[in-house]
Chain A
Amino acid sequence: EDQVTQSPEALRLQEGESSSLNCSYTVSGLRGLFWYRQDPGKGPEFLFTLYSAGEEKEKERLKATLTKKESFLHITAPKPEDSATYLCAVHARGGSEKLVFGKGTKLTVNP
C-alpha cells in the first residue's frame, strides 16, 4: 500500500530561520511527487512536481529535493507570509491517476 508520512506535524520558525520539511514515502514505483501549499480556508496551491531521485526545483525561498525514499522542502530565510500548511503527495506507477497525500506540516513563521 502506498504511504506518505510528513514530519514534523508542526514547525514554528523565526523570520529568517531556515529549515526543512520532510516527506517520506513508500510506493510501488514513483511516477511523481507533488508539493502543495495550503492556506486556511483555501484549496491546495501547486508548488512543485519531482519525478526522479536527485531532481531539485526552486521557487523563491522554497527548494524541493527528491531521493528514492523521501523528499525535502527547504525553506531559506522564511518570511511570515510563508506560514501555511505544506502538503506532499505521491503518484504511483501502474496506470491509476490517484494521488496519495500526507497529512501535512503546519509551518508558522513569526516576525
Chain B
Amino acid sequence: DAGITQSPRHKVTETGTPVTLRCHQTENHRYMYWYRQDPGHGLRLIHYSYGVKDTDKGEVSDGYSVSRSKTEDFLLTLESATSSQTSVYFCAITTKGRPTTSGRDEQFFGPGTRLTVL
C-alpha cells in the first residue's frame, strides 16, 4: 500500500463549511496526488504535488486548494463545501525516480475518504 493513509475516512459536513482532508505517506515519495471518484465519471485529478510547496492543478481543481509543507503530508482543502463536492477522495503517490518491481513509474492509492456535504 506504499504506506499511504488518509484522514478522516468518513466525514459529513454542511454546505458552506471548510473541510480539510489529509494524506500522509511514510516512504518519502516526491509526487503526491488528490483525485475524486464519482459514479459515471471515474477518477479525476484535482491537484498534484511534485515536491514541498510545489503543486499544480488537475482537471477539476475549482473549489479546492492544496498545501504541502512537508514531504509526508499533502492536504486538500474545500474552503466552502458544496453539495457537488460530495464524493470519494483518493490520495495517490508515484514512485517516480525510485526502483520498482516493473523498473518504471508506478502509482499507488490510499484507502479513500468518503465526504458527504449536506
Q: Which chain A residues have a beta carbon within 8 Å of chain B's beta carbons?
A: 32, 34, 36, 41-46, 48-49, 51, 57, 87, 89, 91, 97-99, 101-104
Looking at the assembled complex, report how far the CB atom of A33 sits from the nearest CB atom of chain B, in whole angstroms.
12
Q: Which chain B residues have a beta carbon within 8 Å of chain A's beta carbons?
A: 31, 33, 40-45, 48, 50, 58-59, 90, 94, 96, 102, 104-112
Q: Are A43 and B110 in contact (CB under 8 A)?
A: yes
CB contact under 8 A between A97 and B31, given known A91-B105, A102-B42: yes
Q: Are B102 and A49 in contact (CB under 8 A)?
A: yes
Q: Are A104 and B42 in contact (CB under 8 A)?
A: yes
Q: Are A43 and B112 in contact (CB under 8 A)?
A: yes
Q: Which of B50, B59, B104, B110 contacts A51 (CB 8 A)?
A: B104
B102 — which chain A residues lie within 8 A by C-beta?
48-49, 57
Q: Are B41 and A103 in contact (CB under 8 A)?
A: yes
Docked complex Cα distance between A66 and B104 (Å): 16
A51 — which chain B residues lie within 8 A by C-beta?
104
Looking at the assembled complex, report how far the CB atom of A25 sits from the nearest CB atom of chain B, in whole angstroms.
13
Docked complex Cα distance between A46 and B102 (Å): 11
What 4 new A-B contacts, CB under 8 Å, besides A89-B43, A103-B42? A41-B112, A44-B43, A49-B106, A57-B102
Q: Are B48 and A98 in contact (CB under 8 A)?
A: yes
Looking at the assembled complex, report how far the CB atom of A111 sits from the nearest CB atom of chain B, in whole angstroms.
27
- Which chain B residue shows the least CB distance to A99? B107
Looking at the assembled complex, report how far the CB atom of B64 sits from the nearest CB atom of chain A, in whole angstroms.
15
Q: What are 27 A-B residue pairs whose CB atoms fall within 8 Å in the complex?
A: A34-B107, A36-B109, A42-B112, A43-B109, A43-B110, A43-B111, A43-B112, A44-B43, A45-B109, A46-B106, A46-B108, A46-B109, A49-B105, A49-B106, A57-B102, A87-B42, A91-B105, A97-B31, A97-B48, A97-B96, A98-B45, A98-B48, A98-B58, A99-B45, A99-B107, A102-B42, A103-B41
